[in-house]
Amino acid sequence: MSTFLRSRWGVLAGFAAGAVLLLVAAPAALSAFNLALLGKFICFAIVAVGIGLAWGRGGMLTLGQGVFFGLGAYIMAMHLKLADASLFGGSGVPDFMSLYGSGEVPGWWEPFRSPVVTLLAVVLVPGLVALVLGLAVFKRRVKGAYFAILSQALAAAFAVFLIGQQATTGGSNGLSGFRSFFGFDLKDPSNKMMLYSIAAVVLLLALAAARQLMRSRFGELLVAVRDQEERVRFLGYDPATIKTVTYVIAAVMAGIAGALFVPIVGIISPADVGVIPSIAFLIGVAIGGRATLLGPVLGALSVAIAQTSLASTFPSFWVYFQGLLFVLVIGFMPGGLASLPRLVSRLKQRRTEQPGGAAPASAPQVPGSAVPAPATAATTPTTVPEEASR
Amino acid sequence: MTTPTLLPDGEPRAGGLRHGRPKYLEVRGLTVAFDGFVAVDSVNLDVIQGDLRFLIGPNGAGKTTIIDAITGLVPATGSVNHTGTEILGRKVHKIARLGVGRTFQTASVFENLTVLQNLDIAAGPGRKARELLRRRKGVDPAVQEALEIIGLTRAADKQAGTLAHGQKQWLEIGMLLVQNSDVLLLDEPIAGMSQDERDETGQLLRRIAASRITLVIEHDMDFVREFATSVTVLAAGKVLSEGSVAQVQADKKVQEVYLGTAGMEGH
């Protein structure tokens, strides 16, 4: 079975199953409201695919993906506002600008009247920002916690900047009230269905791209950089280039996800792009298993679903639960839920090999973690009594 | 595509190649200072292609620091010339691309990758983006040959982290071979090895050194006596003596400062 899953046909079958699940089964089973929710979660999952590459494979703790998500989202939102204003208002000036500002469209909004420029900018602007940032940071050998703090600070600064621009970005209210999407009426259920389908297809494409990258020579090199950055240098590679390329790919994925988020959810505000959402992106990835292909996606989806269902029942409780989950996973299961099958099989193996329960001293480690995996087995849900007592 | 030949004919000997135009590493006035402490003090060193040079000296003599300086890891003054190209002051990865390769005291292979992947990465700095984004298909002939030379053909698909200590050092040497380094700087390659592994490593060095510029840091005098074609003795950051093992052993200064009369025999 596992060899089949690894073969070419197995992979194609897996993608086909994913496509059927997302594009046929989900629309058939879910109400329009829940389907839109799933569409929103899929946007988070696309961000998660990029984080899985950058953090899981590249070792870059990207605590500020909200910036790139926000760039893509605001670019799309500006276009939708301008298009709405021309279609419905006639004046060509978005409603909130007349309310809070001078009633004139600022010059830097103008390029986004064009659908082509908008679509290009959704990809290029996050990509270029990540390129400049990545070169500046990684060439100077900033890494580890310093990189994480820097990217987080950037997310905070970005949100503060947006809040300050009441007249041009809607301030803390953000941009909302979109009525059309490239000429399609956003109230029409079939257009909502189309938006959901686009998000699902983009997720599948992002997964395919991530898989190709992970299995390519570049992917092997990326793992090498994650584990032994200095050693890679002595082989004649510049790790900064490898890390920057990966960071750019993750940023582009986040930007596209942001652009899809806007028409699906209908609002983008600083609260969707700042520090807290940036961390939330990461939690799903950590829980799912950052170094795997599907772990980040499944983690992001399940955290988002859990948040929606739990937060409506116990609004104040969710944040604590999320924090606890994060601590538990990072502390005791650094490979995430994706490492669970491996942990279970190792546990079984150990029980059959050594009935006394004495653990082998030198067990292999979970990739990308500093914590020896066997010690974590005691805290997984599959705990057996004698293991738990250790 | 020509078949790669990682293995030279013949064996290394003192003074290196005597015909043609041998490659060389010429170190002049190399000085490394950390916060005023001079770790390496205007060292001059010449190693010719085909010579298997050992660098010995008491702890703290600056042996590893010299390799660090040559490979660009620590800033240094002076000059390091590799067959006509000044390499001092360049970035680490640029120096590596000029054919200067090194290993580390603690083997630093990529533990989460297989032996084959380790070698493939080492062989690849010149690859184009298009090649990098594809999957590795088949085995590079140079990688295949290196696997045979270092005796890890059967372990090709093993995770490098599961290799025995000696095998990790051989993998490192194999990575230098496929990397196409003509300068090999090896930092205590046999530290922690069993006697059999030491012999294997010595034979390996002898097989690869005849066409390369090889500088090996070593403490084990038995190993030095058996495999070195020439020796440089370093003490307190300065070159104390240079020559064949016998010459160096007979040098009064060396006996005084480093070895003592018994030290040369023991360890």
Cβ-nearest to B113 among A223, A235, A238: A223
User: What confidence score (pLDDT) does residue A3 get?
Assistant: 61
Within its chain, how far is the Cα of B114 from the centroid? 23
Tell me whether residues B96 and A367 touch, CB distance under 8 A: no
E strands, chain A, in order: 175-176, 180-181, 184-185, 267-268
Chain A residues touching residue B92 (CB < 8 angstroms): 233-234
Supply the pTM of this predicted model: 0.86
Q: In chain A, whose CA is at the least distance from the CA of B131?
A: A217
- What CA–CA distance (Å, rounded) separates A287 from A24? 27
Q: Per residue in A98-143, pLDDT tens?
A: 777 777 888 899 999 999 999 999 999 999 999 999 999 999 988 8
Nearest to B215 by CA among B106, B7, B74, B57: B57
Q: Are A230 and A23 in contact (CB under 8 A)?
A: no
- What CA–CA distance (Å, rounded) separates B62 from B223? 20
Residues B202-229, mean pLDDT to the nearest whole number: 92
Higher pLDDT, B90 or B264: B90
Tell me whether residues A217 and B127 touch, CB distance under 8 A: yes
Q: Are B214 and B53 in contact (CB under 8 A)?
A: yes
Residues B33-57, mean pLDDT to the nearest whole number: 92
Q: In chain A, whose CA is at the least distance from the CA of B122?
A: A235
Chain A residues touching residue B124 (CB < 8 angstroms): 217, 221
User: What confidence score (pLDDT) does residue A308 get?
Assistant: 86
A388 pLDDT above the threshold of 90: no
Residues 169-208 of B with CB under 8 A from A: 175, 179
Residue with tokens 């007349």: A98
Give the amino acid at B48: I
Cβ-nearest to A216 among B93, B113, B133: B133
B218 CB contacts (<8 Å, ≥6 apart)? B54, B55, B56, B188, B189, B190, B224
Tell me whether residues A235 and B161 touch, CB distance under 8 A: no
A15 CB contacts (<8 Å, ≥6 apart)? A204, A207, A208
- The conformational region for residue A183 under phi > 0 = left, psi -120 to 50 = alpha, else beta, is left
Higher pLDDT, A108 or A388: A108
Chain A residues at the B interface, defined by Cβ less than 8 Å, are 212-213, 215-218, 220-221, 223-224, 227-228, 230-238, 364-365, 367-368
A355 pLDDT above the threshold of 60: no
User: Which DSSP category does A31 fall into?
Assistant: -
Residues A340-359, mean pLDDT to the nearest whole number: 68
Tell me the DSSP string of A223-277. HHHHH-HHHHHTTT--HHHHHHHHHHHHHHHHHHHHHHHHHHHSEE-GGGTSHHH
The SS3 of residue A301 is helix
Q: Are B201 and B189 in contact (CB under 8 A)?
A: yes
Q: Are A165 and A100 in contact (CB under 8 A)?
A: no
Chain B residues touching residue A218 (CB < 8 angstroms): 132-133
Give the amino acid at A373: A
Q: In chain B, whose CA is at the least distance from the CA of A245?
A: B129
Nearest chain A Cα distance for residue B74, angstroms: 13
- What CA–CA distance (Å, rounded) separates B117 from B114? 5
User: Which of B74, B112, B178 to probe by mutation at the A interface, max A CB count within 10 Å?
Assistant: B112
A357 pLDDT above the threshold of 50: no
Higher pLDDT, A323 or A71: A71
Tell me whether residues B112 and A236 touch, CB distance under 8 A: no
- What CA–CA distance (Å, rounded) separates B104 from B183? 15
Residue with tokens 């510029």: B213
Q: Per residue in A369-387, pLDDT tens?
A: 433 333 333 333 333 333 3
- What CA–CA distance (Å, rounded) separates B119 from B176? 9
User: What confidence score (pLDDT) does residue A366 get?
Assistant: 41
Phi/psi at B37 (nearest 5 deg)? -85, 120
Give the amino acid at B168: K
Tell me whether residues A223 and B112 touch, CB distance under 8 A: yes
Is the Cα dihedral A289, A294, A300, A301 positive or negative? negative
Phi/psi at A79 (nearest 5 deg)? -65, -45
Nearest chain B Cα distance for residue A27, angstroms: 35
CB pairs A-B closer than 8 Å: 81
Q: Per residue in B229-243, pLDDT tens?
A: 999 999 989 999 999
- What CA–CA distance (Å, rounded) separates A343 from A333? 9
Joined tokens for residue B169: 């050092």
Give the amino acid at A30: L
Is the CB of B219 inside 8 Å of chain A's CB atoms?
no
| % of chain A at pLDDT higher than 70 | 89
Tell me whether residues A231 and B101 touch, CB distance under 8 A: no
- What CA–CA distance (Å, rounded) separates A211 from A10? 13
Chain B residues touching residue A141 (CB < 8 angstroms): none
Residue A320 pLDDT grade (very low, low, confident, very high; cuts 50, 70, 90): confident
Is the CB of B85 inside 8 Å of chain A's CB atoms?
no
Length of chain A: 390
Chain A residues touching residue B136 (CB < 8 angstroms): 216-217, 220
* Cβ atoms within 10 Å of B263's Cβ, excluding its own: 13
Within its chain, how far is the Cα of B239 from the centroid? 19
Residues A329-347, mean pLDDT to the nearest whole number: 82
Q: Are B88 and B78 in contact (CB under 8 A)?
A: yes
- What CA–CA distance (Å, rounded) separates A12 from A49? 18
Nearest to A285 by CA among A47, A41, A48: A48
Residue with tokens 């909302």: A176
Chain A residues touching residue B104 (CB < 8 angstroms): 231
- What CA–CA distance (Å, rounded) separates A357 from A386? 8
3-state secondary structure B126-153: CCCHHHHCCECCCCCHHHHHHHHHCCCH
